[in-house]
Amino acid sequence: MSADFSESQIVYEDNHLIIINKLPSQIVQGDKTGDLCMADLIKDYLKQKYDKPGNVFCGVVHRLDRPVSGLVIFAKTSKALSRLNEQIKHHEIRKTYWAVVKNAPPKPEDTLTDYLLRNEKQNKSYVVKAGTSGAKEAILHYRTLAQSSGGYYLLEVDLQTGRHHQIRAQLAGMGCPIKGDLKYGFPRSNPDASISLHARRVEFVHPVLKEPMSFVADVPQGSIFEIFE
């Protein structure tokens, strides 16, 4: 998988933050694979672009799973990171996703409320009964945007909570695993090892300027999302 980072992936940049349209192959933060992560690649980019000596700050505000594409916010200062973390904590950063599924949702539009239990060893979350020890409430709203001639459905998903693998687990729980997501029950992988989940839009208040911000990320080139455009 590629660890390259291109300036064309930059959706927005100022003195306080940088927003990237992540490719499915890229990891946001270092993990056990030892592969180069976006945080380190952005540090290198900032160091070279602005000719900065010494260490460069790049704070991870939130994460996307490796096979997922789309918008990720990074902070360029500790002040911006702290303020954005507060927004995350109080659910003030709105994230909207696109997901492609093969099975028709039970309803064209609905709010799903489930309880998810994370299995650390399997790196997977399961939908369980309310009251299960260790389970956390997970809420999302989805609506069907389109259906392709090949029988795929494009869903728009608004997260109201931020649980581990929440969209993947909840959509699979209602019988609609995301295309390519073997871990959550889709029968075949995508050729590039991605899953068809894309962080399409992010909305928040700028941590320093205090202005409302809204950004949209193009879907990956050559992906199934393009058949819906």
According to the model, what pLDDT value does residue 78 have?
A: 96
Gap between the Cα atoms of 87 and 92, Å rounded: 5
Residues shown for the chain: 229
pLDDT digits (tens, 9 = 90+) for 43-75: 999 999 888 888 899 999 999 999 999 999 999
Mean pLDDT of 146-172: 95
Q: Are 79 and 208 in contact (CB under 8 A)?
A: yes
Question: Is the predicted pLDDT of residue 116 greater than 70, yes or no?
Answer: yes
pLDDT digits (tens, 9 = 90+) for 175-226: 999 999 999 999 999 999 999 999 999 999 999 999 999 999 999 999 999 9
d(CA 218, CA 21): 8
Please confirm, yes or no, whether 65 is among the known catalytic residues: yes
Cβ atoms 109, 55 nearer than 8 A: no
Catalytic-role residue among 65, 158, 181, 192: 65
Structure tokens at 26: 């890229």
Q: Which pLDDT tens digit goes with each residue over 8-25?
A: 999 999 999 999 999 998
pTM higher than the cut 0.85: yes
Q: What does the domain layout of the chain look like in residue ranges? A: 7-228
Give pLDDT, residue 35.
Answer: 81
| pLDDT at residue 114, rounded to an integer | 98
**CATH architecture entry for 7-228:** 2-Layer Sandwich (3.30)
Structure confidence at residue 36 (pLDDT):
86
Nearest 5°: phi and psi at 47?
-60, -45
Residue 119 pairs in a beta bridge with: 124
Q: Which two tokens stand for residue 114?
A: 């489930």
Exposed, middle or buried, 89 (CB in 10 Å: 0-12/13-18/19+)?
Answer: exposed
Mean pLDDT rounded to a whole number for the chain: 94
